[in-house]
Structure 1
Amino acid sequence: MPSAAERTRTLVQSTCSAVLLVPGLEGARPDQLTPQARAVGADGEVFLLFPADSPAVRAATHAQDDELAAVLEITDVAPVSVPNRIRGRAWVSGWLTTAPGLAAEPGWMMLRLEVGEASVDDLWGADGVEPEDFAKASVDPLVSHETDLLQHLHSAHSAQVQELSVLLGDRAEHIAGAGGDGCKAVPLALDRFGLRVRFTGQKSFDARFDFPEPVRDVTELRRAMHTLFEAAAH
């Protein structure tokens, strides 16, 4: 399974929604505290792009040499329609400063969040992350493709995803108990280690289908998915 640091780093560098929580700015609108772009630097710091007149930039500018505490909260929502669509949240807390030396278009300002601690609460569980581990962690290679891949699986291969239930062994009894044909299989999450499917009906549960080995790109993913579907079909 991916480490907590990898899961957190992946969420930070994904397209999931994010909001920057800064003491004293509780009255600001959520859209005013949503960075337009975010990236992780070589030392694990998180760079956030905001309009130059945003409350976050004003707060960071006025703080100057004082330490301005801030928390970046990321919410991960499944890109397919499924009950309980929030797949997880991550929090990266630390100290916020301006980063005027970094190139930004006129009217925009880059902020730097020095990471003090991080945590993640997702489909794998809840874990804390040390700043050093966050800085060294790799991003899942499928993160930029996951939304499109899950939506494609759901729309074009729903029958094959449903057939994966035959690989569940004794757990397949839960599907029969959930109404058999009335139970739907929805591809919920995808990473380099495997596919997670949510079976919904009178009873709902998630099942994880691991790939024979971790994939490194979409080409290897296609082969891994073909292997899964072949195993379910025989």
Structure 2
Amino acid sequence: MFRPGIPRTDSGGGQPRPVEDARAPTAAERVRTLVESSVSAVLDIPSARSAEPAPVGYGSPEARAVTKDGDVVLLVPASSPAAQLAEHASGDEVVAVMEITDVAPVAVPHRVRGRAWVAGWLTAVGPGERAALARLVADRHPAGPPAADVAWVLLRLEVGEAHVDDLWGSEAVEPDDFAAATPDPLAPHEAELLQHLASSHDDQMRTLCGLLGETGPACAAAGADAVPLSVDRYGMRVRFCGIEGEPPSACFDARFEFPDPVDDVAQLRQAMRLLFEAAEQ
């Protein structure tokens, strides 16, 4: 059994309660966040498919960034099929689909949080743009590519369509909406934040059972696991497992909204403090 998330917000008394219209990132924002993140991505080029798989790590972009016009810049090995096809396309369109898989950075059942697909046309970045786009990619991924002995090139993916299927649902995204969207400001820090909450604030996470209404007593009595599954500027999603009277594999999600959207880690700490204080009342 796996129940969907329960949106929650702050009522007049300060306690988060279920609502029908929970604030949420738009589909375009969710895709943009995943594209500009460092989570795993695979580039599929139908014209490059063959019976023999590409070497591990050589069919996937190592880093990604998005231009102001909404094009996706990809850092790939020069020997990859994507680079070879784009370099020798001679004006022909190289159709490509990038699939991004978002896996929770904490140990939890049903760990894949979602997937996004961005489809479009792949071209090699010209000499006049390389320096500026290399800086853009470096700003997003300051650590740089891991293999110093590999030659790297930049490709451009002009977005034709996008789709996301994640904790919020399944939605299509238009190219203009993708270009106009902004990634979630907490995304670069999310993995570290969730891991810290899971490892150092386990007892406080369990107190959130007190905000679950009728589900709360069973959740608290069983000493259920309360794992922080995701956090964004609007709130945090927690996965509760080990509920009294349910099978061991039974889990459900609860969404806890912040009183106001947060823009940085400092504001997030304040929002989390208020949430834990409400749970302990």
TM-score (norm 1): 0.94
Question: Structure 1 residue runs of 4+, over 3 Å off?
Answer: none
Higher relative contact order (CA 8 A, sep 6+): 2
- RMSD across aligned C-alpha pairs, in angstroms? 1.6
Q: Verify: 1:23 aligned to 2:64, yes or no.
A: no
Instruction: Give ranges in structure 2 of 5+ residues lacking alignment.
Output: 1-23, 135-147
Instruction: Give ranges in structure 1 of 5+ residues lacking alignment.
Output: none
Residue 109 (structure 1) shift: 1.0
How many matched pairs? Answer: 231
Question: Which one of 202, 213, 219 corresponds to residue 260 of structure 2?
Answer: 213
Amino acid at match of 1:95: W
Amino acid at match of 1:66: D
Listed as ranges, the matches of 1:67-106 within 5 Å are: 67-101=93-127, 102-103=130-131
Distance 2:39 2:231 in 1: 15
Instruction: Tell me what 2:144 maps to.
Output: none
Would the alpha carbon gap of residues 63 and 174 (structure 1) be closer, same or farther in structure 2, given more than 3 Å must change?
farther
Distance 2:106 2:254 in 1: 16
Residue 172 (structure 1) shift: 2.2
Instruction: Tell me what 1:118 maps to.
Output: 162
Distance 1:131 1:6 in 2: 12
Instruction: Tell me what 1:187 maps to.
Output: 228
Q: Verify: 1:108 aligned to 2:149, yes or no.
A: no
Instruction: Tell me what 1:159 maps to.
Output: 203
Instruction: Tell me what 1:8 maps to.
Output: 31
Residue 185 (structure 1) shift: 0.7
Instruction: Tell me what 2:237 maps to.
Output: 196
Greater shift, 60-69 or 204-213, is seen at: 60-69
Residue 173 (structure 1) shift: 5.4
TM-score (norm 2): 0.79
